[in-house]
Structure 1
């Protein structure tokens, strides 16, 4: 089962990425823009989703378009939570205990890519990582 240390390992290889501790847990930013975070059961989240987040490790990531989040939810409803809050859209939250390691790496990297400035995306692409 992937852990936050796996997210940290993935994030460390992304140019300009930094981890910060927030009131909700660990969060990753690129040049001040949030791209991945440990979900916290905030009161504004629907009760059924709050129960899942309180019971297990859930991570949220930015996605390029709302349709991307919708497609992920439809493809794997046991992994991806339905909408949690309107804050930070477009995004998707997923259960770490049910995500495949390769898919985790893809989600975190794509979230970084969505938020990263063009010069960092070019640097990443040039590195062949």
Structure 2
């Protein structure tokens, strides 16, 4: 299963990506826009979860709901993210290959269009890098 080192390695391998602290936890950004981040659950979230939680940008609410329906053991949400295009990932329950795909897709959503096109032209598509 995936670890924070896997997240860091996958994210930082994507063009023009950097890591910074956001709310005291790591977040990975492309051109200043976060696409994945450490999202520990708080008491105010009203949910107890063991293990590391990764926040991931997705295209829209429909994609988020489809991911949750497809694999609720890995993907979930909380009321804080209602109406927001992000899904939460139980990092210790996702395989590294699937993590690579999810992180790359999130990067593609936030990267400038030209950068994303250049990346796709130089790879075999999402998750290939």
SS at match of 2:102: helix
Q: Displacement, 1:29?
A: 0.6
**119-128 or 65-74: which moved more?**
119-128
Deviations 1:38-96 (A, max 9, x none): 11223442x12xx11xx210101000111000001001111112334137810000101
Whether the 8 Å CA contact 1:11–1:28 is kept in 2: the answer is yes
In structure 2, the CA distance between the partners of 1:16 and 1:96, relative to structure 1 (3 Å rule), is same
Task: Give the alignment's Cα RMSD to 1 decimal.
Answer: 1.7
Aligned residues: 124
CA distance in 1, matches of 2:15, 2:119: 7
**Paired residue for 1:85?**
80
TM-score by length of 2: 0.87
- Show the 5 A alignment for 1:27-42: 27-42=27-42
Structure 1, unpaired ranges of 5+: none
2:11 matched to 1:16? no
TM-score by length of 1: 0.87
